[in-house]
Chain A
Amino acid sequence: MTRLALLSALLALPAWADPTPAEVQKIMQRDFHPRGQATMERLAQDGVQRVCTETRDRPPAEVAKALEADQMKTIAFPQGSLMGDWKRGETIAQSGRGLTWNDKPGEPGGGSCYNCHELSPREMSHGTLGPSLRGFGKTRGASAEIQRYVYGKIYNAKAYNLCTQMPRLGLSGTLTPEQIKDLVALLLDPASPVNQ
C-alpha cells in the first residue's frame, strides 16, 4: 500500500517535460515495428523504466528502496557455488551479441561487459561508462557472500541501484545462469586475469 501511494504521488507530480512518458510510449508503439526477436512488447515500460524516465534517473530514496526490493525478488540464485569458469567468462565478457533484431534467437548472448567496464588488463579496448572492475576480487575475496552479490548484480542490477544504466542481464534473458556464474569467476577467481 505504501509503495503504491508513493508511486502514485510521484507520477501525479507535474512532469519535467512535455510530452509525458505515457504519451511517448504511445507514439513509439505507433512508429515502430517488430523485427526478428525484437518484439513490440519491449516498448512497454515497466515500473523501473517509468520511474527512472520520470525522475531522469534520480528517484526519491523511498521509491528507489521499495522498487529495488521488488527487483531483488526476481533474482533466482542457484544452489551451491556460484563460481564458474573464468576462461569462459572472459569470452562472455567480450561478446556484445544478444537480443538485437539481427541476432539469431537461441544463439548464446554475451555480457557486453567490456563495452562499459575495464576488466582484464590484457584488454585495452574497454569502455568507461561503468566503473573499472580491474582487480575486483583481489580486495574482496571470493566468499559465498561476495559471489552472491556479484551474481545478483549481473542478474538484475536494478535490485541494487534502481536507475543504473546496466542492463538486467539475467532477467532480460540475455545471459543464462551458467554464463553468469562464469562471469562471477572472471571477477572473483584469483587465477582470473582480472585479479592479476
Chain B
Amino acid sequence: MRAIALAAALAVGCAAACAAQAQDAAKEIQRYRQMIAEGSPAELFELEGEALWKKPQGPKNVSLEKCDLGRGAGVLKGAYARLPRYFKDADRVMDLETRLLYCMVTLQGRSQEEATKRVFGSADRPSEMESLSAYIAAQSRGMKLDPGVSHPKEKQSVELGRALYFHRAGAWDFSCASCHGEEGKRIRMQDLPVLYKPASARPIIATWPAYRVSTSQFVTLQWRMNDCYRQMRAPEPNFGSETTVALIHFLTATAKGEPYRGPGSKR
C-alpha cells in the first residue's frame, strides 16, 4: 500500500508545494525501504538452495555436499564471509559463484557450458546458482566479512578490481566511479553508494546476495556486475571471469570487517 502511495506521490505533478512534497517522498522511500527489509522472502530461496546442494546431479550423479568452499569439504558455516579467496586446487581467486561452478564441473562432472547456460534466473524461475548462493550465504549471518587479502594472487585480484573500478570504457565512457564516485548522488530516485570507500561499501556488500523487490528476483553479485556493465553499454563480462571476481573481491575487501547480514531484500 505504501509503495502505491509512494508511486502516486511521485506521479502527481507539483507546483508550489514541490519542496514539501519532495520531503514527503523521501520519508515515504525511507519507510518503504524499512518495510522491504523486514519481511524478506529470501528464506524461500535458501530452502530451494539447500535441496539443490544435496541433490545428486551431472554425469557423476553426485551432490555438491563435498564441495570445498574454503573451509574444508562440505563446510558451509562461515564459508561465504571468507570469500573471495585464493584456491590452490584451481590456482586462482574465486568468489562463491565461481567456486560453485568449479565444483559442478569437478565433482559432478558437468560441462562448463551446461552449468553456465542459465546462471541468472527470472522472477518465476530462479537459477540454480541463485538458490545455492542464498543457502550458502545465509550460513555466514553475523560473521564478519573476511575475504582473502594476503596471498599474492589475492593482492593482485584486489588491485585489478580497484583498477577496473576506475577504468573508463564502453560506448558511454563510463567507469564504476561515474555513478559510484561521489557522495550523496542519486540516479533517478536511487541512492548511489561510493563503493571504493569502506563506510559506503560495508552496509551494501554485507547484504548481498539479496531478494530484489522491484523485479521479484533473487540476485547475486555476479548478476550485479553483469547488469552494471550492460547499463554501462559495454559488451558482456563472462560469468566467473577474473574481471568480475576481481571487482567483487575489491568491493568485499573494501567492506572487510562488516558483519554479514544477508541475504536480505533490496529495492
The interface of chain A, by Cβ under 8 A from chain B, is: 17-21, 23-25, 27-28, 30-35, 38-40, 42-45, 48-49, 52-53, 56-57, 99-102, 114-116, 121-122, 124-129, 158, 165, 167-168, 172-174
Contact = CB atoms under 8 A, between A and B. Distances in A.
A35 B232 CA distance: 13
A121 B15 contact: yes
Contacts of A126: 188
B189 A32 contact: no
Interface in B21-61: 21-22, 25
Nearest to A15: B163
B256 to A, nearest CB: 19
B200 interface: no
B236 A124 contact: no
Given A126-B188, A129-B187, A18 B10 contact: no
B163 A32 contact: no
20 contacts: A18-B163, A19-B163, A27-B243, A31-B238, A32-B238, A38-B233, A42-B169, A49-B173, A53-B167, A56-B166, A101-B236, A102-B230, A128-B184, A128-B186, A129-B182, A129-B187, A167-B172, A168-B172, A172-B172, A173-B171
Given A32-B236, A38-B236, A100 B169 contact: no
Interface of B: 10, 13-15, 18, 21-22, 25, 159-160, 162-164, 166-175, 177-179, 181-182, 184-190, 192, 229-231, 233-238, 241-244
Contacts of A21: 163, 167
A170 B132 CA distance: 44
Residue of B173, B190, B236, B241 with highest tally of chain A CB at under 10 A:
B173
Main secondary structure of the interface of A (DSSP, over half): loop
B170 A43 contact: yes
> Top 10 nearest A-B pairs by Cβ distance?
A167-B172, A31-B241, A31-B243, A35-B236, A122-B13, A165-B178, A49-B168, A38-B235, A127-B187, A99-B233
A39 B169 CA distance: 12
A57 to B, nearest CB: 8
B242 A31 contact: yes
A165 B236 contact: no
A173 B170 CA distance: 13
Contacts of B164: 24, 28
A43 B238 CA distance: 14
Contact of A31 (B167, B171, B177, B237): B237
Contacts of A168: 172-173
